[in-house]
Chain A
Amino acid sequence: MRKQADIAIIGIGVTKFGELFHQSYDDLVRDAAMQAITDAQISIDDIEAAWLSTAFPEIGVFKGRSGMDLCEPLSLYNIPVTRVSNYCASGADAIRNAANALRAGECDVAMALGVEKLRDRQPQDSIVKMMVEYGHPFLQKGFTAAGTFAIYASRIMHEYGVKREDISAISAKNHYHGSLNKKAHHQKCCTIDEVMASPMVADPLTVMDSCATTDGAACVIMVRAEDVDKHKHNPVLIKGIGLSIATGWDMPFFDPNHDFLSFQATRNAAKTAYLQAGITKPIDEIDLIEVHDCFSIVELLTYEDLGLCKQGEAKDLIRGKETQLGGKIPVNVSGGLLSCGHPVGATGIRMVVEVANHLRGTAGDRQVKNAKRGLTHNIGGPGAIASVIILEK
C-alpha cells in the first residue's frame, strides 16, 4: 500500500436521532447537509462530488436507491453523486470513497452523507420482517439480527468465562454516556440489572442489549489536507481508513473454520487503518473510540479485534471500567448505537462527527479531555463487513 495523503474534514453535521415522524427522508438530508455546509463555511454549489449512504431503501421509504436522492432535497445538480450500500459499514464506506476521489483529484470538495428512515413503517414491519420473509428461503431462516450476534455470545461465554453481567455492563455504560447526548434516541441511564431484566430477544441478549431502529442523518464535508483554510476551518484529519469483507451473509454459519470468537473483518480493517496511521499500540495511542455496539456483545468482542487487549481479556476492560468516560480509553461516549439508535446508513458518519467534536473540543458534557486521536468502527452484514477510520486533530 502506498502512503495515503491526509484528508481533512472541514464541516460536520448530525441530526437528532430518534423516531422522527415529523421529518421526511428529504428533511433529514437537508438538516444534516446544511449543518455541515454551514460549519464548513461554503455554499451548496461548492460541493464537487458527493456520496450518499443508505443501506435499506426497501424497508424504509424507498428513498436512497441512487445518488439522486441526495441531489433532489438540496437542488445540488450537475455533479457526480454515488449511492453507497455496504450494510452497517455504508457510512464509513461513503467517507472512504470521498477520500479516495479527493486523493485522485476528481474533485476538490466532497460530501459524504448518510441517512436512513426506518420508522415510517407499521409496527413489526421492519428489519424482523425482512429476516422472516426475504433473503434465502432456507439458509439461516429463524435468525433475527440479534440472533446472528447472540450466537457469538454463546461461544464467548463458553470459552472465556464471560458472564451475562459483563455483556450487560456494556449497555449500562453506553446508556450512561447517552444520557449526556442531547441528540441520542434514548437519553436515560440504566443499571446492569435493568438491562438483564428487560425482555429477552436472543439469549443472552435482551431488548436493552440491542440498539433501536432509528431515523437520522449525518454529514461531513471533506477536502485534501493541503487545501484547508487555516483561518476559516477547524479541521480534523483522516489518517487511516480500512474496510474489509471477511465472510458472507450465510458463510460464517456454514463454515467449519469459523470459531465465532472474533470478527476477522474488524481485524483486517484495523490492520489497514493502523498501518496508514502508524499505530502500533492502540490502547496507548488512541484517546477515544466509537464502536459499532448494535448489540452489546459486539462491543465486547471488538475490544479484542481492535487490539485493545488480548483475546479473551475484553471482560477485564469492562469490569475495570477502563472504557467508561474518565477511564483509560473511553468507548462510545456518544452513547453508542445502544443509546443513539441505528439509522444504518447514517451511523458510520455519525460516529466520525462524534469523534471530530471531541478532537475539536466541542463535545460538551461528555468531552473526552485532551483528545488527540480517535477511532470509529462499524461492522455489519452480520459480522461480514467492517470499517475502521482513524481521526486526528
Chain B
Amino acid sequence: MSYIKSYGIAFPQFRIEDCVLHPKGRKGVMKAVCYPDEDIITLAFESANKIPKESIDGIFFATATPVFHNRYHASFIADRLNLSPGILALDFTMSSRSGTDALLLANELINSGKYMNILVIASDAHYPEIGRETSTPFGHGACSVLLSNEKGFAEISSSNTVSSSFAEEFIYKGEYIQFDPRFSRDAGFKTNLVAALKTLDSSRSSFDSVIVNSLYSRMAGPFFAKAGFEERQFSNDVIINKTGNTGTAHALFLLLNDLELEKKEILLADYTNGTNLFKIKNNLPPEHKPLQEQINNYDLVRSYQDYLIMRKAGDFNSPGYHTKEMFSSEMMQEREKESLLYLKGLKCESCGTIYYLKSAQCKKCKRTTFSEVQLKDTGTVYAITNEHYFPASFPPISMVVVDLDGGGRMTVQQTDTMYPDKNEIKIGSKVKLVLRKMIENDAKPNYFWKAKQL
C-alpha cells in the first residue's frame, strides 16, 4: 500500500481559446499553451520544485512528447531538483498512458518494500500540426506526485493493468490524419476496459467517483453500467475544457481534481493502448488546492499569430530542439550547478553580505571567509529596463535587477510578458524566480532563472 504524500501542478500562464484557433471553435474552451521559453522540462521542474525532496529514492518521468533522445528526462530532472545522486531514475514514454504507468510501477515498488519515496512526474507539451489544433486534443501541463510508504492524504489501495495492442491516438501521415475510431473503439476501448473491470474485486457502489481517462470516455457508460456502475458515480472531465487534454499528465490531473473535491473512494481507469486501474482512498483532503488555483489563473492568447510566435519562434516544423551555433556550456552547467541551478550563494562571515557570484574577498568589508547559503527564489525589483532589440519572440525583454528576499542579488529576464500593455512591473514589484529555457541547443539546452511578477 502506498500513499500520495505531496503533489505539485504546473500549467503555462497562457491559454488559447478554440475560437482563436479556428473561426468555428468554441468560445470558453481553452488549451494551456507554453510560452516560448517553456517546455516539458520547465513545467516538470515547476510542478516538482516545492515537493519535499529529502527522502526521495526514485524518480519516474512520463511524457509522450520527449525533448531528449539521448538521455532520460528523469535523471535530468533529478539533477535539476538536486535529488540524491544516482537514485533510480526512469522514463515512461510512447503512450499517453505512461503517466499512470509510472504511478503503477511506483506503487508496486513501494509495496515491494525496496523503495520508500518515489516521485512520479508527468509532463506533456504536444504541438499539433499548424492549422489542425481543434481537430486533435492538446494542452500543455505537468504534475508531480510523491508516492510514499508513509501515511499521506490519499492511499492507493490497489493497482492493476491490462495491456492491449491497439494504439488509440491520431496518426499523422504527412498532412493527413488517419483516424478511424470504429475498430479501435470496439476492439480496443470496449474489450480492454471490460477485461480490466473484471479484475476489480470491490463492490461497485463503494466508489463515489469513477474516472475514465480516454478520448472516448463518453462512450464508456453502457458497459460500465453492465458491470454494475451507476451514472451518478461518473466523474466528468471538467479540466479538458480549461486546459485541453494534457496527455500523460491528464489522468493524474483528473485524480488530483477529485481528491481536491474531497471525493472519498475513487476508481481511476486510464485507457490508451491498454488500461490501468487504480483504487484510491482519500483520507485527508489537502488544505491547499493548487490544481483549482492554477486552472483558474491564466492569461488568454489574443490572436492566432501570437500563438504561432509562441511555437518555436518561426521554426514550426522542428519536432525538437534545432541546432544553433551557440555555447552549449554542458561543462559549465555541471561545474557551476550549485549556483546556476540550486541558487546557492556565499555569505560573508564578517559583515553578512550575501553574494550570488563567487569572489576572493567581500566587496564591502574586504574579509575573505564565506559560508554557503541557500538563496530564496522570491525578491523585489531594484532596477529595470526593457530591451527592444534583444532577439525575442515577444520583444521587449524586460531585464530586472532583483534583490532576493533574505539577501543576494540577481539580474535576470522577466518572462510570461507576451503583452507589454499588461506588464505592470516596476521598481519595487515583487517577483518570483522560475526556471526557463535560455538557449536551445541540440546537445543540452540552457535552463536558467527568469523573473515572473507576483
- Residue ranges of A at the interface with B (Cβ–Cβ < 8 Å): 128, 131-134, 137-144, 146-147, 150-155, 158, 199-203, 250-251, 253-258, 260
Q: Which residues of A contact B328 (CB under 8 A)?
A: 137
Complex: how many Å from CA A150 to CA B389?
A: 13
Complex: how many Å from CA A141 to CA B387?
A: 11
- Residue ranges of B at the interface with A (Cβ–Cβ < 8 Å): 325-329, 332, 340, 353-357, 359, 363-364, 382-391, 396-397, 399, 401, 403, 407-413, 427, 438-439, 446, 448
User: Is B401 in contact with A132, judged by CB distance below 8 angstroms?
Assistant: no
Among A128, A133, A140, A255, the residue within 8 A (CB) of B389 is: A128
Given A138-B438, A151-B401, CB of A201 within 8 Å of CB of B357: no
Q: Which residues of B contact A201 (CB under 8 A)?
A: 387-389
User: Shortest Cβ distance from B122 into chain A, in angstroms?
Assistant: 28
Q: Which residues of B contact A150 (CB under 8 A)?
A: 385
Complex: how many Å from CA A284 to CA B418?
A: 51
User: Is A151 in contact with B384, judged by CB distance below 8 angstroms?
Assistant: yes
User: Is B401 in contact with A138, judged by CB distance below 8 angstroms?
Assistant: no
User: Is B411 in contact with A254, judged by CB distance below 8 angstroms?
Assistant: yes
User: Is B327 in contact with A134, judged by CB distance below 8 angstroms?
Assistant: yes
9 A-B pairs closest in CB distance = A253-B411, A150-B385, A142-B413, A137-B329, A203-B386, A256-B409, A138-B448, A254-B356, A137-B327
Q: Which residues of A contact B357 (CB under 8 A)?
A: 139, 250-251, 254-255
Complex: how many Å from CA A122 to CA B438?
A: 25
Q: Which residues of A contact B329 (CB under 8 A)?
A: 137-138
User: Shortest Cβ distance from B214 into chain A, in angstroms?
Assistant: 42
Among A139, A143, A257, the residue within 8 A (CB) of B387 is: A143
Among A142, A251, A254, A256, the residue within 8 A (CB) of B390 is: A142
Could you show 9 A-B contacts with beta carbons less than 8 Å apart?
A: A132-B391, A147-B390, A151-B385, A153-B385, A154-B384, A202-B387, A254-B356, A254-B357, A256-B408
Of A141, A146, A153, most B-chain CB atoms within 10 Å: A141
User: Is A141 in contact with B355, judged by CB distance below 8 angstroms?
Assistant: no
User: Shortest Cβ distance from A97 into chain B, in angstroms?
Assistant: 26
User: Is A260 in contact with B326, judged by CB distance below 8 angstroms?
Assistant: no
User: Is B383 in contact with A147, judged by CB distance below 8 angstroms?
Assistant: no
Q: Which residues of B contact A154 (CB under 8 A)?
A: 383-385, 427
Q: Which residues of A contact B391 (CB under 8 A)?
A: 132
User: Shortest Cβ distance from A182 into chain B, in angstroms?
Assistant: 30
Among A155, A251, A257, the residue within 8 A (CB) of B364 is: A257
User: Is B403 in contact with A256, judged by CB distance below 8 angstroms?
Assistant: yes
User: Is B446 in contact with A137, judged by CB distance below 8 angstroms?
Assistant: yes
User: Is B439 in contact with A137, judged by CB distance below 8 angstroms?
Assistant: yes
Complex: how many Å from CA A152 to CA B383?
A: 7
Q: Which residues of B contact A147 (CB under 8 A)?
A: 385, 387, 390, 399
Among A131, A141, A143, A155, the residue within 8 A (CB) of B448 is: A141
Given A155-B383, A253-B411, A255-B409, CB of A200 within 8 Å of CB of B438: no
Q: Which residues of B contact A152 (CB under 8 A)?
A: 383
Q: Which residues of B contact A203 (CB under 8 A)?
A: 385-386, 388, 396
Q: Which residues of B contact A139 (CB under 8 A)?
A: 357, 411
Q: Which residues of A contact B326 (CB under 8 A)?
A: 133, 137
Q: Which residues of A contact B407 (CB under 8 A)?
A: 256
User: Shortest Cβ distance from A249 into chain B, in angstroms?
Assistant: 11
Complex: how many Å from CA A146 to CA B354?
A: 28
Q: Which residues of B contact A146 (CB under 8 A)?
A: 387, 389
User: Is A255 in contact with B385, judged by CB distance below 8 angstroms?
Assistant: no
Complex: how many Å from CA A147 to CA B387?
A: 6
**B410 to A, closest residue via Cβ:** A254
**A159 to B, closest residue via Cβ:** B427
User: Is B363 in contact with A138, judged by CB distance below 8 angstroms?
Assistant: no
Given A151-B401, A254-B410, CB of A143 within 8 Å of CB of B327: no
**A203 to B, closest residue via Cβ:** B386
Given A132-B390, A142-B413, A256-B408, CB of A202 within 8 Å of CB of B385: yes
User: Shortest Cβ distance from B384 into chain A, in angstroms?
Assistant: 5
**A149 to B, closest residue via Cβ:** B385
**B409 to A, closest residue via Cβ:** A256
Among A137, A202, A254, A258, the residue within 8 A (CB) of B332 is: A137
Q: Which residues of B contact A133 (CB under 8 A)?
A: 325-327
**B438 to A, closest residue via Cβ:** A141
Q: Which residues of A contact B354 (CB under 8 A)?
A: 256
Complex: how many Å from CA A133 to CA B355?
A: 26
**B340 to A, closest residue via Cβ:** A138
User: Shortest Cβ distance from B286 into chain A, in angstroms?
Assistant: 35
User: Shortest Cβ distance from B328 into chain A, in angstroms?
Assistant: 8
User: Is A255 in contact with B355, judged by CB distance below 8 angstroms?
Assistant: yes
Of A133, A142, A158, A199, most B-chain CB atoms within 10 Å: A142
Q: Which residues of A contact B399 (CB under 8 A)?
A: 142-143, 147, 151
